Amino acid sequence: MRFDKAKAVRAAEKHLSQGKIAAAIQEYRRIAEHDPKDFAALNTLGDLYVRAEKPADAIACFTRVAEHYRTQGFTLKAIAMYKKIQRLDPTALDVADKLGTLYEQQGLIVEARQQYMLMADAYTQAGQRRKALEVLRRIADLDPQNAEIRLKLAQSYAHEGLRFDAAEAYVQAGANLLAQKAYERALDAYNQAYGLDPLNQEALSGLVSAYCGLGLAHDAAEILERAIADDPENAELRAMLVRAYLEAEEIEAAERVAKDLFARESHSYTALIEVARFYLRRGDAARAVCLLAQVIEPALAARDEETLEGLLHHSLECDPEQIEALRLLVRIYTWQRDDERLRATLERLVEAAREQGLAEEEQSALAHLARLSTEEAVSNNHAPKSADEVEYTAFRLEDSASGFESAVTPDLAFGWEAVGFDSNIDGVAEIATPNLQSFEDALASSSEVARREKLLQQELESVDYYLTQGYVDIARDTLDLLEQQFGPHASIAERRARLAQATATPADSEVEYGAIPAEEVGLIEAIVAEAAPDPPQLAAEKRANGHGPTIDPGFAALLDEFRAELGEDEPAASPSDYETHYNLGVAYKEMDLLDEAIEEFQKAIALTAPQDGTPRYLQCCNLLGHCFMQKGMPRVAAMWFKRGLDAPGHSEDEYQALRYELGNAYEQMGDIERAIEVFSEVYGINVSYRGVGERLRELQSQRNLTK
């Protein structure tokens, strides 16, 4: 027999209206079994299991829904579902783990920390210190610039004998401290790391930087000399030693080490470049250029010609007629095939050689100019008409002694190849438009139309029930399905309007009402503070009863220090935090997690201001009011509705909605006079607003009966 889902939903709703929870559970189980993808039904089934005091069954339902949301990328809904699970089982570490990860993805660092600290506490209580340390590392990674947290983590690793992990954490802390120019503390962190792992070159490099920052480069050089003696083939150590000697301004020692390093590994030419740079700062251009001449070929091979060119121009600023610098520039421009700058440099070289009486150098430069002119002439399809067109007679075209060979330069074809593109832009394909069927095919008979209309109205009756019972998720999903099945329809649009009204987030109002009496303000604030939910504590029963393994006092103390450090340095809120907290609050509210929703809306409103030019403040006031109304706390709700009305700069429709809600709050408080006052103002602005006229008549009748 074919399963009739709509019939099962109606049966379940009937059972619920009669308070028959067990019977409703059976119907929703059938729905979930026949349609495993109906996650709204599965969520409702979980809620019914909670009401029936069957937490294990509820958790099974909620877990399936949560995993669906998580894998589909609906992070906020997944968080809301996992919070429902955590409320039922605060000791579930896998739930805390997933919540922490989801919070981290949303950038909610504080919330992620809370979940991870719950895990760390639980693992510590269970004596699983290695797992606790792994969680602490995840907490440290949430704020990678926080050196203090990283130092606490390093101490924890060291306490457990995990010296390599501790060394890595100390190195990361040292790097953060170096960035802050806290050189003494950075030096201490790197010393700790180096003591734990003498082969850790990051630690050694950090030591060098910290010593140099403190003006103690000589000490760094001594440490590096000892390290090289133990590991003479280590090129990185020699590069660090060059840097240390340069910082100590021991240029000869730096040059010695750099030359030794270059002789061992030609790709380490950058050390010699740094020494050359130092010579230039001292004004010794000749020594600098001499070093650059040694590294020009590997530097060109590494496409580092810009660095060389900049240093050579700097040397020519010191000594404009320096022959060797000009030769090296000729080599670079020949490599680059930059004929314009090559010609200018050759002409400059000719003049410098002539001034210094270097006839052979001058002759070689002229020969190079002649070859350049000949090549240009050939490339332009004409040869020189006479010898007068070139400024030379019978000079050799090669002069290996001068360093200007006419050898073919390396093939740089990869830089000259033309990239082929299809230039035919006229043949753009036409986009085929769908072949639409005529509406006559869909409406073949009036009887079919009547049948579909009747079926739609039956389904809409279910939506009406969902709206009445507050099952907004189910109502929304059902309307989506009906619109897919029946297309746009006035009755569907009407239900969507009701749904929007049920979950509306009206804006603020400028209308001022009499302040809540002073004696009530303290009471309301106390209620708000009391209503703020505490975070769940993992393994609470075990701790209270003294069960579980004995905790290492030393590790527990480190964990307390770690926690204290977290409390002292909360990350600054980012512009996206409001949206995250607000949207998460909406997700919680839709799933009836009112305490969690209130907490998120309170965090969101703290990131706004009544006059910030956005509807954010008013939205939070409205939703906080609705949450407290659902919790049966109309006094607190009235406070939030009034705050929304006091916020300037919003539309009259938004203020009207808040006035109406404030009237509801006063009515629930039993304050008939103030309810009548507020509803009268709503009536005065719009007599047909949400049946306000009937509400006023009812309230006035109640007042007359009590007189």
Q: Could you tell me the residue ranges of all domains in the chain?
A: 217-268, 283-409, 446-502
Mean pLDDT, residues 452-461 taken together: 73
CA 493 to chain centre: 38
pLDDT, tens digit, for every residue of 464-495?
755 665 656 666 766 776 776 678 888 888 88
pLDDT of residue 476: 76
pLDDT, tens digit, for every residue of 611-642?
888 999 999 999 999 999 999 999 999 999 99
Mean pLDDT, residues 578-602 taken together: 88
Instruction: Give the span between the Cα atoms of 98 and 77, in whole angstroms.
Output: 13
Say if residue 344's pLDDT is above 60: yes
| Weakest-pLDDT range from 54-58, 499-503, 571-575 | 571-575
Instruction: Give the span between the Cα atoms of 672 and 660, in whole angstroms.
Output: 14
Q: For 377-401, give one letter per residue: b (16+ CB within 10 A) or e.
A: eeeeeeeeeeeeebeeeeeeeebee
Backbone angles phi and psi of 399, in degrees to 5: -150, 80
| 399: DSSP letter | B
One-letter amino acid of 258: A
- Domain 283-409 superfamily per CATH: Tetratricopeptide repeat domain (1.25.40.10)
- % pLDDT > 70, the chain: 77
More confident residue, 389 or 126: 126
Instruction: Give the span between the Cα atoms of 552 and 685, in whole angstroms.
Output: 69
> What angle (nearest 5°) sits at the alpha carbon of residue 433, between those of residues 429 and 434?
140
| 552: DSSP letter | P
Helix H, strand E, coil C: the string for 381-416 is: CCCCCCHHHCCCCCCCCCEHHHCECCCCCCCCHHHC
One-letter amino acid of 37: K
Contact 641, 665 (CB under 8 A): yes
| 322: DSSP letter | -
Average pLDDT, the chain: 81
Residue (of 533, 468, 510) closest to 654 by Cα position: 510
Backbone angles phi and psi of 404, in degrees to 5: -115, 70
Instruction: Give the span between the Cα atoms of 493 and 504, in whole angstroms.
Output: 16
pLDDT of residue 63: 96
> What angle (nearest 5°) sits at the alpha carbon of residue 127, between those of residues 125 and 128?
110
